[in-house]
Amino acid sequence: MAAQPKTADEVPGPDGVSGDEITRLAERHLVQPWPVSGSIGAEARGRIDAGEGIYVTDAAGRRLIDGPAGMWCVNAGHRNRELAEVMAAQAMELSYNSPWYTTNVPSALLSARLAGHAPEGVDHVFYTTGGSSAVETALRFMQFSNNVKGRPEKKLIVSRQGGYHGSTYLAASLNGRPRDHDWMDSAGDLVVKLTCPDPFRRPEGTTVEAFCDFLVEEFRQMIEARGAERIGAFIAEPVMASGGVIVPPDDYLKRMRKLCRDNDILFIADEVVTAFGRLGHVFASQDVFGIDPDMITFAKGVTSGYFPLGGVMIAGRLFEELRRSNHSDAMFAHGLTYSSHPVGCAVALKNLDILEGGLLEHARAVSDHFQKSLKALEDLPLVGEVRGLGLMACVECVADRVSNNPLALDIEVGKRIDRHCQELGLLVRPLIHMCVMSPPLTITAAQIDDMAAILRKGIELTMDDLV
């Protein structure tokens, strides 16, 4: 008889502390992100002890495919020796320097490398500690520039329903999923939200082209109603990630970009997920969608998640405008202790070497198989749509395939699929009635087949639960 899997409590953790002690310490002291009020500080989640390539090992010693690559970030895969070694070497050479008074070698080199990948002229970088602080920086820079340029009323920020931009106050205010706002305050006065560009949820009887026309017209009318002189920026994920891998209609981004340019509204592409190979290129804005944003925010895959680093690419012309303004001595009073961190930048440089040295090409080569393998799940009655691009995809479940109505929230179908898949050896990212997949870019065709087979079984078992 096969041995029963052990529980986390029976397995010793690292450093000789017993597994049940680790679980107890986590429950007693650790507050996990996105906790629910009734269990804050009392919920120890499944423990992961190790990782290698596309796999992680849980506390019970089971190997699981890391379907979401952590949180869309472990692009080069787990346990990459080159990344680990460069991190240690940089920490021994220079572990920290004040970014206010001084600069360092890795951040200068990385900035030039990133400028080489960004659209022409988007050639300056401000480094942060992650995606939220990158978005926050882009928005504060917009506010600062408009103050300096003598147009302090040009501050409204346009985002979209379904979007996700982070968890700091201003960035979180842009988020467009209801649960991000249900119990939280926000800087709502500064933000206007447009319709989510989700072709699957377009109004019945409307073509995708007509839906796209509607989305662009909605923005045009909003600019007219509010006044271009009051709108500072439009922010968009090229492919909405946490909102359910929403790939917008063709030309949507180009047309929104044009409206921004025509009305002197900054276009901020939030590429925290889509950059660094997730869509097969270092940045997706131009190489995948043919647009040239004024600013591009990034994080996550820049270090493959090995070090908390993010940043904003900023068009050089925006600095030129400030230099020519009447207030060329005004200070952009914004900085982080860990801006331009030498260790993070050194890891990012090595990560770029890995991406340019074949991983981008590999990601492009396997993405078709990835998309097709998951698309095949549409034959399951619970699945309404499988969509995606590059190495990001979403399986959306529906109550029935005629209406495509979403399932009742309390069914928690995403969590059910996740639970079954974990038993079978796969981590997925559940989103209410959806499951998101964004594996490490190192995944092979055979591993994609394994992943899709487990996901199919997990959905079938969930269908059995719901009978």
Q: How far is the CB of 279 from ligand PLP (least distance, A)?
A: 13
The stretch near ligand PLP (CB under 6 A) out of 209-217, 266-274, 358-366, 427-435 is 266-274
Q: Of 371-430, which residues contact ligand PLP (CB under 6 A)?
A: none
Indicate which single residue of 54, 64, 83, 241 sits in contact with ligand PLP (rule: CB under 6 A): 241
Q: Is 164 in the site for ligand PLP (CB under 6 A)?
A: yes
Sign of CA dihedral 187, 193, 197, 200: positive
Identify which of residues 272 and 394 has a Cβ nearer to ligand PLP in the complex.
272
* CB 301 within 8 Å of CB 71: no
Cβ-based nearer residue to ligand PLP, 68 or 232: 68
Q: Least distance (Å) from ligand PLP to the CB of residue 235?
A: 9
Nearest CB to ligand PLP, comparing residues 114 and 269 = 269
- Nearest distance from C-beta of residue 39 to ligand PLP, angstroms: 21
Return the closest-CA partner of residue 51 out of 280, 279, 278, 306. Answer: 306
CB of 169 to ligand PLP, least distance (A): 12
At its nearest, how many Å lie between ligand PLP and the CB of residue 20? 31
Residue 127, Cβ density class (10 Å: 0-12 exposed, 13-18 middle, ≥19 buried): buried
Q: From CA 145, how far away is CA 18, in angstroms rounded?
A: 54
Smallest gap from residue 236 Cβ to ligand PLP (A) = 9
Per CB under 6 A, the list member of 118, 246, 269, 273 interacting with ligand PLP is: 273
Cβ nearer to ligand PLP, comparing 171 with 426: 171
Whether the Cβ atoms of residue 384 and residue 397 lie closer than 8 Å to each other: yes
Applying CB under 6 A, among 69, 87, 296, 299 the residue interacting with ligand PLP is 299
Q: In 237-282, at which residue ranges do the beta strands (DSSP E only) sit? A: 266-270
- Closest approach of ligand PLP to the CB of residue 10, in Å: 33
**What would the DSSP string read from start to end of 208-231?**
HHHHHHHHHHHHHHHHHHH-GGGE
Residue 253: burial class (beta carbons within 10 Å; 0-12, 13-18, 19+): buried
Binding-site string for ligand PLP from residue 65 to residue 94, where x marks contact by CB under 6 A and - marks none: ------x-----------------------
Nearest of 404, 301, 429 to residue 354 by alpha carbon: 301
CA distances 362 to 206, 250, 369, 436, Å, are: 37, 25, 12, 21
237 scored as a contact of ligand PLP (CB under 6 A): yes
Cα torsion 318, 322, 323, 329: sign? negative
3-state secondary structure at position 392: strand
Cβ(373)–Cβ(452) below 8 Å: yes
Task: Give the per-residue contact string, 103-142, with ligand PLP (x = CB under 6 A; - = no).
Answer: ---------------------------xxx--x-------
294 scored as a contact of ligand PLP (CB under 6 A): no
Q: Does 242 interact with ligand PLP (rule: CB under 6 A)? A: yes
Closest contact distance (angstroms) between CB of 172 and ligand PLP is 9
Taking the complex as a whole, how short is the minimal distance between the CB of residue 408 and ligand PLP, in angstroms?
A: 26
Residues 308-327 that bind ligand PLP (CB under 6 A): 310
> Residues 68, 166, 277, 305: which binds ligand PLP (CB under 6 A)?
166
Does 165 help bind ligand PLP (rule: CB under 6 A)? Answer: yes
Instruction: Tabulate helix, strand, coil % of the chain (nearest 5).
Output: 45, 15, 40
Q: Nearer Cβ to ligand PLP, position 165 or 416?
A: 165
Stated length of the chain: 467
Nearer to ligand PLP, 114 or 272 (CB): 272
Strand order in the sheet with 426-427: 48-52, 55-58, 63-66, 426-427
Sign of the CA dihedral running 24, 411, 464, 369: negative
Find residue 64's DSSP bridge partners: 56
Q: How many Å apart are CA 196 and CA 243, to the nearest integer?
A: 9
Please calculate the CA angle 97-283-435 and round it to the nearest 5 degrees: 105
φ and ψ at 48, to 5 degrees?
Answer: -110, 130
String of contacts with ligand PLP for each residue 184-223, x by CB under 6 A? ----------------------------------------
Nearer to ligand PLP, 166 or 384 (CB): 166
What is the total count of residues that contact ligand PLP (CB under 6 A)?
17
> Which phi-psi region, left, alpha or beta, contains residue 290 (left: φ > 0; alpha: ψ -120 to 50)?
left
Query: Which one of residues 192, 212, 272, 314 is an interface residue with ligand PLP (CB under 6 A)?
Result: 272
Query: Least distance in Å: CB of 175 to ligand PLP?
Result: 9
| Residue bearing tokens 């002197």 | 264
The residue at minimum Cβ distance from ligand PLP is 131
Contacts with ligand PLP by CB under 6 A lie at: 71, 130-132, 135, 164-167, 237, 241-242, 270, 272-273, 299, 310
